[in-house]
Amino acid sequence: MRYISTRGQAPARDFAGVLLAGLAEDGGLFMPETWPTLSHADLRALRGLPYPELAARVMQPFIGDAVPFAKLQTICRDAYANFAHPAVVPLVQLDTTLWSMELFHGPTLAFKDMAMQVLGRLFDHVLTARNERVTIVGATSGDTGSAAIEACRDRSRVDIAILHPAGRTSEVQRRQMTTVNAANVANIAVDGTFDDCQDLVKAMFADTAFRTDMHLSAVNSINWARIAAQIPYYIHAALALGAPEREVAFSVPTGNFGNVLAAWAARRMGLPVARLVVASNRNDILSRFLAGNDMSMAPVEPSLSPSMDIQVSSNFERLLFELLDRDPAATAAAMTGFRSTGRMEVPHTAWQRATTLMHGFRLDDEGTLAEIRRLDRECGYLADPHSAIGIAAARALPCTHHTPTIAAATAHPAKFPDAMEQATGRRPPLPKHLADLYERPEHFTTAPNDLDAIEAQVRAFAYRNAA
């Protein structure tokens, strides 16, 4: 499998090259040169497999010979061995045709663990084979950082520096990152929003001298390997509810667009998906786009669902590339215009292609609290604010023919105790392995929203560890 940039000016790479590169040199995102396909017979052969085995088989076409299949099977078994639920990704029925796909049973209680636990082991394998070392830089709106740190902590060939927006994550999200005491981990609280942090990461990659000197790599969903490791759980859930003989729909709470893009990719490979619901909070650029082709930036507003407090959704570029018939020049022009004017001009025909599959949904904080209360009262089910938005979006979706709808439950409710208490009057306890989280000392530095200042901190951190 070879990968090309959405903007067409970076050399093609194999999977190992894409894993280590993260962002393409031209500022674009890597995409498969051709899409692997799964026939109905292929899908049926996956039905009933243990999740780690299914994940390895679904990921293998994207990885090719960069990792031997037997090694990939071992990586996936090890990655999911310590998840808190034996099914890894259990489905919980909430209504006649509505299920919650629980993606939060990993070590940091969020869906990011589903990919990160695989990625950490893939980095180990590839870097050992190449006798190389990398500095991973990432931005987080809350969950990516802790999942990435947990996956990469104490690994001998990786240093990891995570930027988070100061004061804009939940306390649990912040402490899951900052209480990790490992020499190869650095946390930087940036005076700004998640979009600022994401822009700083992209600027570090665009600084060729810095990128080369630091051997930069990425674990944000700009890294294709993250998307590849998220596709399996959509296939797993659909098979459990009757695919490929039966279509399903997915509802995904969305910030950076990577999780719903993985669902789109599963459909592109052959999974019968009737509808994708893109669920947003008050930061509703994606739902505005789907409702009326309005892709215009607005100020990021803090909400009860901080992982979705995003206006520049990086992975939308990958979908745009496909909507524009894989035209890299048109994709680059659209993205460049978006960053310079704050508005993206998407051709009407491309927008229509998106809306034939995708349906946008928006829910503000008041509606989110109401949905958490309703689920608790009517179903005895505790959903965190992000998951509640996804479930509400699924309920709002007009479905026919009794299509099963699967809502992605992306985080454990204990990660957002203040919101849960506000909605239900109860604070869900943290699992045993995190029970003392509030007592653990924190380790992080602060920085202004300034590229030079951030690069100086990352350079000092990497040089210290290399000494």
Catalytic positions, please?
A: 112
The DSSP output letter for 406 is E
Q: Which residues contact 122 (CB under 8 A, 6 or more apart)?
A: 19, 67, 75, 225
Q: Cβ distance 176 to 434 under 8 Å?
A: yes
Residue among 139, 146, 137 at smallest CA distance from 173 = 146
- Alpha-helical (H) ranges within 275-410 are 285-292, 316-323, 328-341, 348-355, 365-379, 385-396
Polymer length of the chain: 467
Handedness of CA 349, 354, 357, 359 (dihedral sign): negative
Q: What is the 3-state secondary structure (H, E, C) of the chain?
A: CCEEECCCCCCCECHHHHHHHCCCCCCCCEEECCCCCCCHHHHHHHCCCCHHHHHHHHHHHHHHHHCCHHHHHHHHHHHHCCCCCCCCCCEEEEECCEEEEECCCCCCCECHHHHHHHHHHHHHHHHHHHCCCEEEEEECCCCHHHHHHHHHCCCCCEEEEEEEECCCCCHHHHHHHHCCCCCCEEEEEECCCHHHHHHHHHHHHHCHHHHHHHCEECCCCCCHHHHHHHHHHHHHHHHHCCCCCCCEEEEEECCCCHHHHHHHHHHHHCCCEEEEEEEECCCCHHHHHHHHCCEECCCCCCCCCHHHCCCCCCCHHHHHHHHCCCCHHHHHHHHHHHHHHCEECCCHHHHHHHHCCEEEEECCHHHHHHHHHHHHHHHCCCCCHHHHHHHHHHHHCCCCCCCCEEEEECECHHHCHHHHHHHHCCCCCCCHHHCCHHHCCCCCEEECCCHHHHHHHHHHHHHHHHC
Q: Cβ distance 248 to 91 under 8 Å?
A: no
